[in-house]
Amino acid sequence: MKYVLFTGATGGLGTLCVKELSRKGDWTVFATGTNGAVLDQLGKLPNVIPLKMDITIQESINAAHSTVQSFTNSLDAIVNFAGLTYFTSLIEGNSVDAIEKLLSVNVMGTARVNRAFFEMIYKGCGRIINCSSESGWMTPQPFAGPYVLSKYAVEAYNDSLRRELMFLGIPVIKIQPGSYDTQLTQQISTYFNKAINETKYYKEILTKMKPLMTMELNHKNDPRHLVKSVIKAMESKHPKLKYRVGTGKLLAMLELLPEGCVDKIYKLMLTLHK
């Protein structure tokens, strides 16, 4: 039996991954999150040990670490799936607080968990899997700054960690998912509407942008493909450095163009018919 610590297990996609690992039967999953009700449900599955863990609080991570050690002294994998999203202007509202919050969860939370559990990974000759996003490698979209910069930071953290741990024989792999129909992506619409209602400078721009954002979010990727990629990253003898799953087609097309052209496209699309 192999052991994996799985953060973000109470989010939609994380829960699907945990359920599939339970079904497979060859992993014991330490499923961590902050939603007690979902953890209770996951705890009813075979080979799943639910742990309430807040990755922004070191004491909470330490407590989870002690519990994991009561079951095993090593881990075969860490999967960092916990994360938040946000949508706001970088110069209005609570943008600075949003940046701090997303960095604390998406970046620092990942770093805290990997640091705390590293010795167990080392003893188990395991691997570390970090969840980034298509926003971590694509050219940034306007008004998604807090989320984008947090995922760019995850990319840099992941690659730096990989180039350290390769000397110890420990693979570090990143997952770069596109948009899926989860509570996380559903929140984007709420944040978008909030931005439209509260903006001083961008009401017309955001109003014109909303149908484009809705069209991209309504492109429903099959979450089974993402679950399959996560498990491949966990189990492959020769894992890829990165797994891109469900990349948005419209956004991917922008990657073919020079940065200046992308600026012009956004400006033309969102300022026509003034």
**Per-residue pLDDT, 120:** 98
Nearest residue to 122 via CA among 76, 87, 153, 71:
76
- Distance, in Å, from the CA atom of 176 to the CA atom of 151, rounded to the nearest integer, reads 10
pTM attached to this predicted model:
0.92
Pair of tokens at residue 124? 């188990």
Where is average pLDDT lowest: 117-121, 136-140, 186-190, 215-219? 215-219
- Distance, in Å, from the CA atom of 1 to the CA atom of 27, rounded to the nearest integer, reads 6
**Per-residue pLDDT, 274:** 47
| pLDDT tens-digit readout, 85-122 | 888 999 998 999 999 999 999 999 999 999 999 999 99
- Distance, in Å, from the CA atom of 157 to the CA atom of 204, rounded to the nearest integer, reads 37
- Distance, in Å, from the CA atom of 262 to the CA atom of 208, rounded to the nearest integer, reads 17
Q: Residue 130's pLDDT band (boundaries 50, 70, 90)?
A: very high
Average model confidence (pLDDT) across the chain: 92
Q: DSSP letters along 71-129, please? A: T-S--SEEEE-------B-SSSTTHHHHHHHHIIIIIIIHHHHHHHHHHHHHHTT-EEE
153 DSSP assignment: H
| pLDDT tens-digit readout, 230-273 | 999 999 999 999 999 988 777 788 888 999 999 999 898 888 65
Measured CA distances, 30 to 79, 95, 124, 170 (Å): 10, 34, 15, 20
| pLDDT tens-digit readout, 72-82 | 999 999 999 99
- Distance, in Å, from the CA atom of 22 to the CA atom of 103, rounded to the nearest integer, reads 31
C-alpha of 21 from chain center: 18
Strand partners, 30: 5, 49
The backbone torsions φ and ψ at residue 155, rounded to the nearest 5 degrees and listed phi first, read: -60, -50
- For residue 44, give the amino acid letter: K
Residue with tokens 């000397």: 167
* pLDDT above 90 coverage of the chain, percent: 76
- Distance, in Å, from the CA atom of 98 to the CA atom of 188, rounded to the nearest integer, reads 13
Residue 203 backbone zone (phi > 0: left; psi -120 to 50: alpha; other: beta): alpha
Dihedral sign (CA 261, 263, 266, 268): negative
